[in-house]
Amino acid sequence: MDTCPACKAKTAEKTTCHRCKLDLQLFLDVEKEAENHAIKARQAHEKKDMETLYIHSSRWVSLKASPEACRLLAISALHMQNYPKALMAQKMAARLSGKYSDTQECRQT
């Protein structure tokens, strides 16, 4: 985490914001959990294990959405024949990468 979510001060991976004294540990834990799901999703994608990819990419998106996470969720949702979820995930990936302006987000279904 580079900046405090409350006051936007630079944090340099500290557990407390020097400016507003916000406890950042929960935010750091969420980032770490998101990275763990990212690793597992990438591994599942390499193995072409779509069920595992769907589980981990869904969790990754819910913790910390990124274009890559949404694209992997879209791929796995297509394989699982969850077309509405795949479409929402692709739209969110495009929006996060600046290529789409719709405000729809992918949500757990």
In this structure, are residues 48 and 42 in contact, taking their beta carbons and an 8 Å threshold? no
pLDDT of residue 99: 72
Largest CA distance in the chain: 48
Domains and CATH numbers, the chain: 34-96 (1.25.40)
pLDDT of residue 103: 47
One digit per residue, the tens of pLDDT, for the chain of length 109 reads 788 989 999 987 789 998 999 999 999 999 999 999 999 999 999 999 999 999 999 999 999 999 999 999 999 999 999 999 999 999 999 999 887 654 445 554 4
pLDDT of residue 14: 83
φ and ψ at residue 3, rounded to 5 degrees: -130, 155
Report how far residue 51's alpha carbon sits from residue 54's, in angstroms, rounded to the nearest whole number. Answer: 5
Prediction pTM value = 0.80
